[in-house]
Amino acid sequence: MIWLTWRQLRTQAAVVFGLIAVLAVLLAATGPRLAGRYGTDSFLSEIGGADTALYLLGALALLALPFVIGMFWGAPMIARELEAGTHRLVWTQGSTRTRWLLTKLGLTGLTAMAAAGLLSLAVTWWSGPIDRAIADASGAGAAPGPGLLIFPRLSPEIFDSRGIVPLGYAAFAFVLGVTVGVIVARILPAMAIVLALLAVTQITMSVGVRPHLETPERLTTTITATNILRIDRGGHLTLAIDRPGAWSTAQRTVNASGRTVRPPSWMGDCLPGPGQRDQGCFARLEREGYRQVVTYQPAGRFWAIQRDEALVYLALALLLAGLCAWWTRHRLS
């Protein structure tokens, strides 16, 4: 069974590991030079276009890998055999359904986690100096960096492409693909469903689950010309906080009595244009008691949240594996 499973997987595995190897060589060749420049005041602003492209490529590769694994490794793995009817041939050769399924889940699942682990290790190592520089510069009123170099590693844009979360996400994506393939028993519909489910999962995790994995901190701060970042069309304020590398998960404006309110209508005049901030306007806000309540996760919780989220993905993968085993034993003919 192991040899048969590997023969079915080796082409897809060779493509993925080959692309990872190419990216790893590029990162290994440029990483020491990048790390050597870390520590200078102009480090972020001097990062060139090639390094910025590598930074983006690494993040996108880790975001895309679970989709590739779920759609092209997981979904067709059993759905293909169900479509062709070859699963019956295996079951009549002395292999039980459970052994057949566990071999496929175990070997391919571990291979998927190995691919995600190697890619995450390379990208996390190479991006380390940039992540540290962004965290150092992301306090109130600071300019973290040009272009894409503004997101600390706890932010939703970066978090999925660092640390150990990609391993858990890869395992979940693979088992999800297998489970959908077993239930749907058609390759193309299964791949489309997996794509949609993974997109929903990624959004739900980053917006609805991750902010609550660790009890967030809360800060009440004055609205000033220095820390205000923007006012959206709905009148909601967004401030920078003096917590380097922190992830601001929610913000609301309160009045002198502590009630959540919208900023006063004259607040729009405080920011007439870029670089034109009315100090008197912000002094009036303070006199009238307006404050901003910011809920955030400190930068020091990065690895704790990584651990929590990876465990959530692994738990979901185990539940799906149980569903997959039950369906295989009781619903497949």
- In sequence order, which residues have a C-beta less than 8 Å from that of residue 100 and are 6 or more positions away? 1, 87, 90, 91
Contact 108, 9 (CB under 8 A): yes
pLDDT computed for residue 187 by the predictor: 94
77 or 231: which leads in pLDDT = 77
Average pLDDT over residues 310-322: 97
**Total number of domains constituting the chain:** 2
Q: Are residues 162 and 248 in the same domain?
A: no
- Domain span holding position 240: 217-299
Q: Does a structural domain hold residue 40?
A: no
Q: Are residues 282 and 233 in the same domain?
A: yes
Q: Are residues 100 and 195 in the same domain?
A: yes
Contact 227, 221 (CB under 8 A): yes
Q: Are residues 308 and 282 in the same domain?
A: no
pLDDT computed for residue 269 by the predictor: 72
Degrees to nearest 5, angle at CA 272 with 267 and 278: 65
Q: Are residues 163 and 295 in the same domain?
A: no
Element (H, E) at 138: none
Cα–Cα distance, 217 to 15 (Å, whole number): 44
Q: Does a structural domain hold residue 43?
A: no
Q: Are residues 93 and 169 in the same domain?
A: yes
pLDDT computed for residue 279 by the predictor: 76
Amino acid at 68: V
- pLDDT above 90 as % of the chain: 56
The per-residue pLDDT of the chain, averaged, comes to 89
CA-atom Rg of the chain in angstroms? 24
Tell me the per-residue pLDDT of 219-237, one tens digit each, with 9 for 90 and over: 999 988 888 887 877 778 8
Contact 34, 129 (CB under 8 A): yes
Q: Are residues 56 and 4 in the same domain?
A: yes
Average pLDDT over residues 283-296: 91
Residue 276 burial by Cβ neighbours in a 10 Å radius (0-12, 13-18, 19+):
exposed
Q: Does a structural domain hold residue 255?
A: yes
Tell me the per-residue pLDDT of 91-126, one tens digit each, with 9 for 90 and over: 777 778 888 888 989 999 999 999 999 999 999 999
Cα–Cα distance, 94 to 96 (Å, whole number): 6
Q: Does a structural domain hold residue 42?
A: no
Degrees to nearest 5, angle at CA 39 with 141 and 28: 120
- In sequence order, which residues have a C-beta less than 8 Å from that of residue 116 and are 6 or more positions away? 62, 65, 66, 69, 166, 167, 169, 170
Cα–Cα distance, 23 to 94 (Å, whole number): 43
Q: Are residues 323 and 280 in the same domain?
A: no
Q: Are residues 261 and 277 in the same domain?
A: yes
pLDDT computed for residue 140 by the predictor: 45
Q: Does a structural domain hold residue 325?
A: yes
User: Token pair for residue 189?
Assistant: 């519909």
Res 273 pLDDT > 70: no
> Which three-class secondary structure state does DSSP give residue 238?
strand
Of the candidates 70, 249, 22, which has an alpha carbon nearest to the alpha carbon of residue 156? 249
Tell me the per-residue pLDDT of 22-76, one tens digit each, with 9 for 90 and over: 999 999 999 999 888 887 877 888 888 888 999 999 999 999 999 999 999 999 9
The DSSP call for residue 242 is S
Residues in the chain, how many? 333
293 forms beta bridges with 220, 252
Cα–Cα distance, 71 to 12 (Å, whole number): 11
pTM: 0.88
- Token pair 């975001």 in the structure block, residue: 63
User: Token pair for residue 61?
Assistant: 């590769």
237 forms beta bridges with 231
2 forms beta bridges with none
- Token pair 């990609």 in the structure block, residue: 166
- Give the ranges where 205-301 is alpha helix by DSSP (H): 279-287
Q: Are residues 252 and 119 in the same domain?
A: no
pLDDT computed for residue 5 by the predictor: 81
Average pLDDT over residues 304-313: 97
User: Token pair for residue 233?
Assistant: 């069309």
What number of CA atoms fall less than 13 Å from residue 321's CA on the CB side?
A: 20
Average pLDDT over residues 8-34: 93
Q: Are residues 227 and 308 in the same domain?
A: no
Of the candidates 157, 298, 286, 174, which has an alpha carbon nearest to the alpha carbon of residue 222? 286
Tell me the per-residue pLDDT of 131-190, one tens digit each, with 9 for 90 and over: 988 888 765 445 556 667 888 899 998 999 999 999 999 999 999 999 999 999 999 999
Q: Does a structural domain hold residue 44?
A: no
The DSSP call for residue 207 is I
Average pLDDT over residues 182-207: 95
pLDDT computed for residue 60 by the predictor: 95
Q: Are residues 147 and 25 in the same domain?
A: yes
Q: How far apart are the first and last CA of the chain?
A: 20
Average pLDDT over residues 195-214: 95
